[in-house]
Structure 1
Amino acid sequence: MSDSNIEGNAGSASPAAGEPRHLRRVLIIWAVLSVIVVAIWLAVAQFILPPAASSLDSADNFTFIVLTALAVPVSLFVFVFLGYSLVAFRVSGRPTEDGVPLQPRPSLQIGWLGITSLLCLFLLIWGMIATYQETAVASTGKTLVIQVTAQQWQWTFNYPQYGATSQGAQVIDLPVNRPVEFYVTSKDVLHGFSIRALGVRVDANPGQVTTTPIVTTTQTGSYVVQCVELCGLLHSYMWEAVNVVSADAFNSWIVSQGGHL
């Protein structure tokens, strides 16, 4: 293509007569697919996500659903734009001339910047509100305090209010419908303390005590506490069962661990 042709194309701000409006097609395809995929996600999310056993984890699951629903249109736009370009502008054999250069369109640039800025602002506000809600819950006399000590490759759980300790027992108990606060530390290397069903996850740092947000259990059942930071050879075996039980069953378990009521 000659220099004069290139300059002529660069000066054109609208499609030539009879040329399809590619951007409009891309936007229509993207909008339709976004509505369909987001609707499917909202319908099946509750069956895909693990069940929540606390109000904190219920909030985490809801956040995951919302952020995924926001991420779907963004991701789809990239894939639809790429897929449409591969199909609409494909050529057989080696091209004989350069393609028409893209034209600067202030409306597109401003729109793209505005939409992405709004998404980032939404994420910032959502995160700040969620963090405040997690940390605003104050400890009360009813709050169960559990001191958690990690070491290669087991957990030690101390219940100071009851004088009970469980070390390497593979099973610990928590009472249902009672707020719990974990004080987490490590004896040796960095570990990660996590109870997925309760929405609890903090680092266990040597020489430091990290507290978790106060979490209230809402569902009885058996769950898992596990290390989520690579901590050595037997990292994958560093887990125990967590049973959320009734108050009477919890009291019986405390007594069986040598504690007092």
Structure 2
Amino acid sequence: MSEANIQENTEGALPARRDPHHLRRAVIIWAVLSIIGIVAVVFLAPLVLPVAADDIDAVDNGTLVFFTALAVPVALFVFVFLGYSVLAFRVKEQPTEGAVPLQPTTGLQIGWLGITGLLCLFLVIWGLFASYQQTVAAPANPLVVQVTGQQWLWNFNYPEYGASTQGQLIELPVNRPVVFEVTSKDVLHGFAIRSLGIRVDANPGQVTTTTIVTPSRIGSYSVACVELCGLYHSYMWSSVDVVSSSSFNSWIVSQGGHL
């Protein structure tokens, strides 16, 4: 057999080398989409996040925006490389040879574990710092509102004033810290005031206390049940009005409470 035939047979038996341009293209696509995604998260977040409580804006919203922006390049890394691999390396006919096996690289494995470990450590530190900020900034004597869910309405009680209301409009004073103590009479409900950043499960036989929020904008906001709780779940909603202190005092008296 001639040397030319041996070389031809050898080249035919060896798998084709990987094209380095594929990796470069995939990285460029991933980087561009990541930048666009992060910018979109930062600029669109104010349109969907709670806006009626300044303390929520400062801590929870900032944390949510940061974590979402951080998740964008991670998610796109998976989707871009998966999609690019499917499109660029698809084979219409049955392959005649096996795929080229990937050889493990110690440096790559150590680097991957190191980067992901540092990322997880950073997220833990960020969460602890945000929790510490909320603890330090918590006021000593907030307004307590006791919330009890039942099929299919909410019961509200103001123990400080001896006032209560059932399944209708409630009021909160502007710029006064509020904490909700939430429970249920029957099944699991979900108590949510989206504009105040409140969302907590109402569990039967258990009281769950929300973080303290300070309504900072006068207005009317929706109270909803966000856990499927039965046939008329969609009707289990109410409203909360954030009003001035004088209006709140008048409302308390109208509900049979005392000042």
Give TM-score, length-normalised by structure 2.
0.85
Helix, strand or coil at the partner of 2:220: strand
Query: CA separation of 1:37/1:148 partners in 2, compared to 1, >3 Å: closer, same or farther?
Result: closer
CA deviations on 1:207-250 (whole Å, 9 max, x unpaired) are: 22222222111111111122222222222211110111111111
CA shift digits 1:175-233 (9 cap, x unpaired) = 11001122222222222222111122222222222222221111111111222222222
Alpha-carbon displacement from aligned partner over 1:54-90 (angstroms, at most 9, x marks no partner):
1343132222211111111111111221122123323
Query: In the alignment, residue 157 of structure 2 is paired with which amino acid?
Result: N
Distance in 2 (CA, whole Å) between partners of 1:110 and 1:5 is 34
Aligned residue number for residue 173 of structure 1: 171
What percent of counterpart residues are identical?
Answer: 64
Supply the distance in 2 between the matched residues of 1:163 and 1:19 (Cα, whole angstroms): 75
Counterpart Cα distance in 2 of 1:184 and 1:194: 10
Out of 230, 233, 257, the position equivalent to 2:231 is 233
Give the equivalent residue in structure 2 for 1:76: 76
Q: CA RMSD in A?
A: 2.6
Partner of 2:165: helix, strand, or coil?
A: strand
Which AA in structure 2 matches 1:209? V
8 Å contact from structure 1 (residues 135, 213) kept in 2: no
* 1:117 match: 117
User: How do 1:33-112 and structure 2 match up within 5 A?
Assistant: 33-47=33-47, 49-58=48-57, 59-112=59-112
Partner of 1:216: helix, strand, or coil? coil
Closer, same or farther: CA 159–108 of 1 in aligned 2, 3 Å: same
SS at structure 2 position matched to 1:233: coil
> What does 1:195-210 correspond to in 2, within 5 Å?
195-210=193-208
In structure 2, which of residues 184, 187, 203 is the aligned counterpart of residue 186 of structure 1? 184
- C-alpha distance in structure 2 between counterparts of 1:118 and 1:129, whole Å: 16
Structure 1 residue 6 displacement after superposition: 11
Q: Contact 2:50–2:196 at 8 Å: present in 1 too?
A: no
What are the ranges of 5 or more consecutive residues in structure 1 without an aligned counterpart? 10-14
| Cα pair distance change 1:183/1:165, threshold 3 Å | same
For 1:189 and 1:90, the matched residues in 2 are separated by 51
Q: Distance in 2 between matches of 1:200 and 1:126?
A: 21
Aligned length: 249
Q: Retained in 1: the 8 A contact 2:186–2:204?
A: yes
Partner of 1:158: 157
Distance, in Å, in 2 between the alignment partners of 1:103 and 1:25 is: 22
Counterpart Cα distance in 1 of 2:14 and 2:107: 22
- Measure the CA separation in 1 of the matches of 2:110 and 2:21: 20
Provide, for residues 129-184 of structure 1, a one-character-per-residue CA deviation record: whole Å limited to 9, x for no partner.
2333334444534x21112122211111111222211112x210001100112222
- Counterpart in the other structure of 1:30: 30
| 1:222 partner SS | strand
Residue aligning to 1:149: 148
| Partner SS state of residue 224, structure 1 | strand
Whether the 8 Å CA contact 1:56–1:199 is kept in 2: the answer is no
Structure 1 residue 21: deviation in Å? Answer: 4.4
Does the 8 Å CA contact 1:52/1:198 hold for their aligned counterparts?
yes
Matched position secondary structure for 1:215? coil
